Amino acid sequence: MRQVVETLRVRVPATSGNLGPGFDSLGLAHGIYDEVEATLIAGPSTVEILGEGQGELPTDDSHLIVRAMQRGFEFVGMPQAGVKMTCRNSISQSRGLGSSAAAVVAGLTLAAGFAGRPDVFGKAEVLTLATEFEGHPDNAAPAVYGGAVVSWAESGQAHAASLDLHKDLRTTLLVPHEILATSTARAALPVSVPHVDAAFNAARTALLVHALAKDLDLLHEATRDRLHQEYRSSAMPATAEVLDALRSAGWPAVVSGAGPAILVLDELDPQTCRILESRGFAVTTPGIGRGAHIID
């Protein structure tokens, strides 16, 4: 299969997985984007990184975007090629904002664009391949589709359904200086949880889908969680303290993905923002993000 073009650019959003009770299933895209330009070349790949991850991420064929592109080429039956790539990164690394999912989705979206065959390599296939890398689709799904998404995987296939969002929904992200590896956050989770806690989260997850679309006043109750946030609190004590304070004050706040960033499903008042900034959190109101897309 011959590629249609030699150079493409893609934008992919930051995402928050879980949204509180929707562990490994609910996710939301933010209006913060990584932008990647890729040109197919003969020979080994080279990657220039600007912004987040500069001087830290690999700059050769081992880069996650390059590896995802190669998997995409394999899927669609294209010959492997090197790539000259420039990454302009705005998504914070290791903060629970889906930077790895964004990289994987960027690489697969580029591969699909180079293949020029949306009939066999579209968003559904990008999501399934991205889930191979991620292990679960809650970040990859909103990175692919944008907005809020419920996702699941079964028999090697990933699936997603976009959720309606209330026109007045606003979001705030609180991003600390500290980082937390997803593997560390995962290791803090127990092998099993009490049945009563599973039932508690099932009810809140269903309520959250309704609240996001129809009744924002229910968001505080709908974002309560018993499956993961408390278990992870010792790995991110500053986040846990701020989260408890926000929720005690009535804000619908949750850990963003595995943390340590916090997502508030509302727009914080200026005084609260100033207090949080004085405690080392970068405060942004990113808006709802669009899914991965090729740009001219």
Instruction: Kindly list the averaged pLDDT for each block of 10 residues, start to end, along the chain of length 296.
Output: 72 98 97 98 94 96 97 94 96 96 98 92 97 95 98 96 98 95 89 96 98 98 97 95 98 97 98 96 97 94
Q: In the prediction, which pLDDT does 2 show?
A: 46
Q: In the prediction, which pLDDT does 183 show?
A: 87
According to CATH, what is the number of the domain 7-163+288-295? 3.30.230.10
Q: In the prediction, which pLDDT does 142 show?
A: 98
Q: In the prediction, which pLDDT does 5 show?
A: 64
Architecture in CATH of 172-284: 2-Layer Sandwich (3.30)
Dist. CA 182–CA 125, nearest whole Å: 25
Residue spans of the domains in the chain: they are 7-163+288-295, 172-284
Burial class for 173, CB neighbours closer than 10 Å (0-12, 13-18, 19+): buried
Q: In the prediction, which pLDDT does 260 show?
A: 97
Q: 3-state class of 240 per DSSP?
A: helix
Dist. CA 26–CA 160, nearest whole Å: 10
Q: In the prediction, which pLDDT does 1 show?
A: 45
